[in-house]
Structure formats: C-alpha cells, structure tokens
Amino acid sequence: MGRSWWLPALAAAALPGAGTAEARVTRFVVEQRSTVPPVRPGAPGYVILRGYYEGSVDPRDRRNAIITDLAAAPRRANGGVGYRATFAIAVPADPARISGVLLYEVPNRGNGDVAADADGHVRVVSGWQGDIVPQPGVQTLVAPTARGLTGWVLQRFVGVAAGTASIPIDGGIGRPTPRPIPVSRDTSAATLFAQAGDAAPRTPIAARDWAFADCRKVPFPGTPDPRQLCLRGGFDRAKAYMLVYRGKDPKVLGIGFAAVRDLNAFLRGAKADDAGTPNPLRGRIRWAIMSGTSQSGNFVRSLIALGFNQAEDGRQVFDGANPNIAARQVPLNLRFGVPGGAAGMFEPGSEGSLWWSRYDDRRRGRGVSSLLDRCTATRTCPKIVETFGSAELWGLRMAPGLIGTDAKADVPLPSNVRRYYFPSVTHGGSPIGGFPLAGDRAFPGMPACTLAFNPNPSSDTRRALLAALVAWVRDGKAPPPSRYPMLARGDLVEANAAAMGWPRIPGVPSPDRMLNALPDYDFGAGFRTVDLSGVLTRQPPLVRGVIPQLVPRVNADGNETAGVASVQLMVPLGTYTGWNQLAQGYGAGGSCGFIGGFIPFARTEAERLAKGDPRPSLEARYRDHAGFVARVRAAVAGQIVQGWLLPDDGARLIEEAEKSDVLR
C-alpha cells in the first residue's frame, strides 16, 4: 500500500478518459516519480511527483474578470482561456502517514522544489510567472498572449559594464525575463534617457544614436534585433539608462493567480481531471496553507487581495497563509508587468492596498481599502502569519503597511492576522547561520557594499512560526500575540542617526541616506491603483510627492529591539543592520539595495579603546568562550519556552556556539 497507492495517477496520466472538470484543471500529467528517504528517524519516506497541468479559465466568471487582458486572450472551444504550468509534489509514500496538511510554497522567480517533510505534510510548488522562459528545473507557466494589444513599456538598465555595445532588453532580477517586442524599431517613436544619478535630471539620447539592434559582432547601428538595445559608443557604467517604447502582444500574466488557485483547489477536492486522470491526493487533504518569500510573498498578498482564494466552485482554497519578507503587492496583473522586480525606480508595487484592515489612503487620494476586502465579502479569508525584517523597512518600503501613508498612527490588525518582526536582519535573514565573527563580503550575487554581509538569521524563528500557523489552522490553537515595531510604543522614528539613537562607530557609514524612498507615482488613468492591475498608460509615471516612512530605533550597540530577536541577536557578536552602503558604481554612497550589514565588536577592551569604539567588547560582555556559550544556552531555553524556537533548532544553536571561535 505504501509503495503503490499513487500508481493509478501515474498510469492514468497517459490514458484518455471522460470526466467532469473540477477546479478548472483540465489535464494533470505526472511525468516523473522518485522516492526520497525520511529526513530523520521515525519520519515518513516520500514520493516526489513532477509534471505539468493544464487549466481553462472562464472569462465570464466574476472571479476571473479582474485578470487584465483576459477578455482579449484566445479562447478554446468551450469558451475558456487555457494555460499550462509545471508542478512538483512531495507526498508520504505511506498514505497513513499523510498529516492532511498541504503546504504550497510559491516559487520565487521560478526557483522552487519540494522535499520530504518530517511531519508528514504534503508539499507542493508550481509555476505562476508567465514571463519566465520555460527551462528544465524551473517552475514556469505558459500564459496566453493577447495579440493585437499594445501599451507603454519602461525598462531601466543600471550597472552596464563600460564599453558594452549592446544589451538585452529584459526585466527582473535573479532571472532576467524578456520584455515585449516593440511595435516599431523606429527609435523616433521611443525614448532612451541617460541619468548620472537618481536625483539628477534625465537626458534624452538622440534617436540617431541608438537602435533596437545587436552590436556585439556588427558595429553600430548593428544587426536589427527588437530584443537588443545598442548605443553608439557604448554604455557608461556610471550612468543609468531608461528606455520607454510601445510594446505589443502582451502575455496575460495575471492568469498565474488563477493557475495557483486552480491547482490547489484540484489537489484539495477534485476526483479527476477532464481526461479522467485521478487526483493523486484525492480525499487526503483537509487543510491547505500557502507561503511565499520576498517576490513570492508579494504574490501571496496579491492573490488574497484580488479574490483568488475562492475557487470557481465558490469554495475557499487556502486556510492559512504566510507572506514572508513581502512588503508590497506583486506587479503581475498588469499589461507588460514585471513581477521579477524589487522596488526599483518607477516600478509599481506599493501603489495598491497594503493594509490587512481597512485604511483610508487620504494622502494619495485612493480611498478606503484593505487586502482582505474581497475575501471578507466571500467569507474565504485565511488565517495569516505575516513575517518580515529590518531590510523590508529600509529597502522595500514596508512602513506604510504598518503606519499608513501619513505615518501618523499604527494601522490595526484584524483578528485573523498575526505579524512578527525579525529585528536587525538582512533581506530573508542570513543563510550562513551559526555564530560567525565576521560577515561575508563576497556573498554570491551581492553587489559591492561597504559593510560586511549581515550574518544574523531569521530562518529558525520563521520555522517556529510556520509550525504555529499549522497549529492555528489545523487545531485552532492561536499563535503568540503579534510582535513588531509600533508607533504607539515609540518603536518607529525617522531614518537618521540622531532619531534612531545610532552609535558613532569610527569608520562606519551613517544610516542617514540608506532608506529607499517611496514616491507617490501616477501611472495614468488605465492603472487600477488599489488592485495594482490594469494598464500603465503614463510611462514614466508622474511623481506627485514622497510618502513618509519610519524605521525602528536601535540600542547603544546599534541593534534593533522591537520584534522577535534571534538567539544570535540576543547574544550579539556585533551590530547587525537592515541597511548597507553601496561602495562603488552607479549610486555609490547610497543604499546597497536590501542587503544588511555587520560591524563586529572588538574582541578585547584594549582593542575597543584603541579603535575608539563605543560598544563593549566581546571580552567585556561574555568574559570567555564558556561565558558566551552559557549566554546562548539561556537564550535558547527562553526562546523555546516562549514558542519562538523549535527544540531541534535550539539544540543545533547550542552545538554551533560550542564549536564557534568566539573568545577561544
């Protein structure tokens, strides 16, 4: 039974059959099967299923009508609009070991996989981002194209290597995605700007001096190519470039929300697809929880806001949700959207509703709204555990979600939402772990920042909070009260050294210029701001002002105190920041994106005094290695009792402290 219960789904995947479409998955195909051993003794072994599924979205259904350009997409014979997406599912080999909980993790830029789970939960990932080119090992979605439609496209290029002759016109970070083909290659119908700094004026480049062309082998004007940008004389690394042109034939990217909805509704409740292929999880899922990190956490927020937590049959899809380090909504449901961006200049994402309870956005004149308006109306709101850290406030414009666009008062949380803050962490917390005495200045993919990479993690705390979310959904056990910086407690202040209480550390940059400003953009009448949907009819957007943002206070060490501290922050080895300074290139001296920094403490008091460092040394704090380990043991014990740390992670932290080089 434990090895064969899933076989009917695999065998039937290649066979035709008859059936009734449920949850709009029309075809479900398992292409690969593998087995993986238990993650630890006593845990179940797992089967991994990989393949693809096809779906059909009804444009006439009110739940789908919000999808931008869906009405212009090609129809199937039944009047539906089709799509195809990849998936991977990890399920216990023995059905008796299935917990009944499905954990869906939204892939980040196509990066997502599944593995065995110690608790018997089913784990699922699938493609949703329709602008990623399909490729092996990446979760992707093939979205329909709304041929004949056009619209403005804006693409910025920063940090182009000096002398580069031509560059691809693509967007996003981490995994570049091709941008739309221009309606015309006539450069007089488009505009290319150069800019020496974000505060400097934009200078138009003459149409005769650039081309939609590839100049890598043929000198300017090069070989005509609508997907390449060529500049006479090459690009200047010290400048940013912005291209604005009219594109054609947009992909209906918003269908990615329906694809995630439909897959999980299918796995949760359907008998079979339209061809008769059985649902491999039929009757085995009682609760479903979705989570996403960074870009995919923004997707979680938008899926709920746009009403996609209700399936086409009216049922609720997800019982719980964890948007992690997600400060905005994802710019997916837009004509020519760029869901792979990250709060850059002129990028949409923070214009829509950012609040879990209803808030009147008077400053921007957008009325009263909340992320939960649609699911409240249909009674399909999940229980939500929101987790984020310092870098989201400094680099990703998180503050308005806490204090509104006027920054005058805390926006309250509804009863189905808990919020937890990871103080003094970089974006996502450090994956290094342990108790390193120095940060990593050469972390893969990291730009050149002045401060070392922040080694303070958040993963241990998040694991405990995800377990609490499961218990809340499955058992009705409420998680700990929310813990995050609030105006009412005096936790939030202006982003400058004086207001924060930042210590003067010799040779260390000030935080005064490190906040990523939030402009009040006007993208034109075609843009539905509250829903972050529609068409951007004004590019570049009009800047109507700047939204105020606040950041947490710090203690005498420069470390934040509000929120749920990691053990590493409770027993610090230095100052951990959610900001950093860009050391070179375009924008040098300003913010280094959403990368946090680390300033280690001096080892001895003599060393501290010699440097003029106001922060006590490691020696003064812990005396010796044994004293340091004792402090870690005490912190671990307290965090486990309070529910902020799982026992296995606590034991690992103590072992890492014992093996560390701290005061040896």
CB 109 within 8 A of CB 340: yes
Q: Is the dihedral of CA 218, 221, 223, 229 positive or negative?
A: positive
pLDDT at 199: 87
Q: Count CA within 13 A, CB hemisphere, residue 444.
A: 3
Q: What is the pLDDT of residue 442?
A: 55
Domain(s) of CATH 3.40.50: residues in the chain: 7-141+252-344+352-423
* pLDDT tier for residue 444 given thresholds of 50, 70 and 90: low
pLDDT at 441: 57
Structure confidence by residue, pLDDT tens digits, 71-97: 999 999 989 999 999 999 999 999 999
Please tell me the predicted confidence (pLDDT) of residue 440: 66
Is 70 exceeded by the pLDDT of residue 427? yes
Residue 12 has pLDDT above 50, yes or no: no
Widest distance between CA atoms in the chain: 80
pLDDT (average), residues 13-42: 73
**Distance separating alpha carbons of residues 249 and 237, to the nearest angstrom:** 32
Burial of 625 (0-12, 13-18, 19+ CB in 10 A): middle
DSSP codes joined into one string, 322-376:
EEES--S--TTSBTT--TT--S-TT--SSSS---SS-EE-TTTT--EE-TTHHHH
Q: What's residue 172's pLDDT?
A: 81
Q: Is the dihedral of CA 501, 506, 512, 514 positive or negative?
A: negative
The yes-or-no verdict on residue 573 having pLDDT over 70 is: yes
In sequence order, what are the beta bridge partners of 574? Answer: 600
Distance of alpha carbon 47 from the chain centroid? 28
Give the pLDDT mean for 264-293.
96
Q: What is the spatial distance between Cα 125 and Cα 102, in angstroms, rounded to a whole number?
A: 11
Tell me the residue type at 311. A
The pLDDT tens digits for 446-491 are: 788 999 999 999 999 999 999 999 999 999 999 999 999 999 999 9
pLDDT at 554: 98
What would the pLDDT profile of 402-420 be if each residue is shown by its tens digit?
A: 999 999 999 999 999 999 9
Rounded CA gap, 287 and 1, in Å? 23
> Is domain 7-141+252-344+352-423 in CATH 2.60.120, yes or no?
no
Element (H or E) spanning 401, and its range?
helix 399-403
Residues contacting residue 606 through CB under 8 Å, at least 6 positions apart: none
Above pLDDT 70, what percent of the chain?
Answer: 96
| Residue 161 pLDDT grade (very low, low, confident, very high; cuts 50, 70, 90) | confident
pLDDT for 506 equals: 96
- Split at pLDDT 50, 70, 90, the class of 47 is very high
Residue 102 confidence class, pLDDT cut points 50, 70, 90: very high
* Residue 125, CA distances (Å) to 76, 406, 492 in order: 26, 38, 37
Asked if the model's pLDDT at residue 226 lies above 50, the reply is yes
Three-class SS state of 402: helix
Query: Could you tell me if 28 and 266 are in contact, meaning their C-beta atoms sit under 8 angstroms apart?
Result: yes
pTM for this predicted structure = 0.95
Mean pLDDT of 510-537: 97
Question: What's the whole-number average pLDDT of the chain?
Answer: 94
Q: To the nearest 10°, the Cα dihedral for 485, 487, 490, 496?
A: 80
Q: Mind giving me the DSSP string for 53-68?
A: EEEEE-TTSTTTTTST
**Residue 8, pLDDT above cutoff 50:** no
